[in-house]
Amino acid sequence: MWIRGRVQIVLALAVAFYKIPYPISIDANGEVINQRTVQVFVPYKYLYLFDEPRTAHVSFEGNDNVSYNCNIISHNAKLIHSEDGNYFMAIATVITLGQNTPILQKYMKADVRIIVSNKTLWQQVFG
């Protein structure tokens, strides 16, 4: 009986390994430039990951419980040095399909999560 239970657990883990996405992301800070655009300050050590288009989830100051999808449309490899580290700048546009458009004002702060990979564990290991 206990063997059957263990087999079921192993099968469930195998299905999860194959089916459930395991997102890898970068947390960054941003600032609103205009109603549709956010400049994002990304830690410089992640510059090598920006060789292809990226998407991000952004929440804005004053409305932290709502997240909006964004496309990273460009980035600049120029080093930006600050007291807490080195960064580069990326530009993201806000996508509001099916969502209420947020009221954004210049200089509003943004919390940004840039999606690097949304593959399953199976794809990460064997893909």
Q: Does residue 1 have a pLDDT over 60?
A: no
- The whole-model pTM stands at 0.77
Residue 26 pLDDT class (50, 70, 90 cuts): very high
Task: Please answer whether residues 94 and 70 qualify as being in contact, where contact means their C-beta atoms are separated by less than 8 angstroms.
Answer: yes
Average pLDDT, rounded, for the chain: 87
Q: In CATH terms, is domain 24-118 a member of 2.40.30.170?
A: yes
The domain locations on the chain are: 24-118
Q: Does residue 127 have a pLDDT over 80?
A: no
Question: Which residue in the block uniquely carries the two structure tokens 């460009």?
Answer: 74
Task: Please answer whether residues 55 and 71 qualify as being in contact, where contact means their C-beta atoms are separated by less than 8 angstroms.
Answer: yes
Residues 6+ apart with CB under 8 A from 77: 47, 88
Question: What tokens were used for 58?
Answer: 């952004």
